[in-house]
Amino acid sequence: MKNLKKRLQNGETLHGCWLNLGSPLTAEIVGLSGFDWVLIDLEHGAGTEKEALAQMQGLEHTAAGIVVRVESAEPQRIQRILDMGAEGIMCPKINTPQEAQKVANGLHYPPIGQRGVAKMVRATQFAQNFQTYYEGSQENVLGIVQIETRESLHHLEEIAQVPGVDVLFIGPADLSMELGIFGQFDHPMFIDALQRTIAAANKAGKATGILFFNPNDYGKYHQMGIRFIACGADGTFVADGAKNMAEKLAQFRSAL
């Protein structure tokens, strides 16, 4: 465990990025680059659970904590990924406190939650370390729910109060689409939604997160109080690097 939950509770700002290529090699490269955490995306990314396992193995020796975005809050999805060794789970489109509670139930063993018990899994070092993992799971497993719908904005305080929910993570694309202002992240409606989410999280002693792709936006969001910050993705890094190199070579060729 890379202590993501404890570090957030201590007030640290943690930097991360998305992994959407499904590749253990790009996961390892990104994990070695200095991020505090990385997110393996099973909602929109190219990989499946099989690729997620390989990516976790590639990330094991890096300093980056492993978060996985699952497709839904179904307990089977959550517990399979936790058994593989993820430190945190992100669930998309959480609308109500009841849905948030379903996420929390999948994250933790009884009596706190309803996570199924399996010892012979990677997270417990294949039964060699089950007791230690079990005793520390409540303190170490990070629960992240995404705020990205109109309905969720009506239940922010209730969602934030759910035990086991540690981060309210704003999904800018989906939320702005729902608000009818797609991509207008400076629009008053979007800023108001951000501020309300941050206020609800702060009131409950929880953290707020967001994903953005322009690093120049860092100061704006950090000043608002967002501390679980993601910028960029492995696919973007590869695409930008490849395009930059191709353009440089084309410039040299045209100068001949």
DSSP, residue by residue, 176-225:
HHHTT-TT-TTSHHHHHHHHHHHHHHHHTT-EEEEEES-GGGHHHHHHHT
Residues facing 229 on adjacent strands: 15, 210
- 54: tokens are 């390989």
Distant-in-sequence, close-in-space partners of 99: CB < 8 Å, separation ≥ 6: 73, 145
pLDDT at 86: 98
User: What is the tens place of the pLDDT at every residue in 66-115?
Assistant: 999 999 999 999 999 999 999 999 999 999 999 999 999 999 999 999 99
> What single DSSP character describes residue 114?
-
Pick the CATH number of 4-254 from 2.60.120.470, 3.30.930.10, 3.20.20.60, 3.10.20.30: 3.20.20.60
| Inter-helix orientation angle 49-59/24-31, to 10° | 30
| 3-class DSSP state of 50 | helix
Task: Identify the pLDDT of residue 46.
Answer: 96
pLDDT value of position 55: 98
Q: What is the pLDDT of residue 134?
A: 96
Residue 1: per-residue pLDDT: 77
Rounded to whole angstroms, the Cα distance separating 3 from 139 reads 9
Tell me how far apart the alpha carbons of residues 60 and 58 are, in angstroms, rounded to a whole number: 6
Calpha distance 218→66 (Å, rounded): 22
Which pLDDT does position 205 carry in this prediction? 98
Which residues does the chain have with pLDDT short of 50?
Answer: none
Token couple for 155: 């239940």
- Ramachandran angles phi, psi of 202, nearest 5°: -60, -40
Domain boundaries, the chain: 4-254
Residues identified as active-site: 44
- Residue 217: partners with Cβ closer than 8 Å, 6 or more residues away: 185, 231
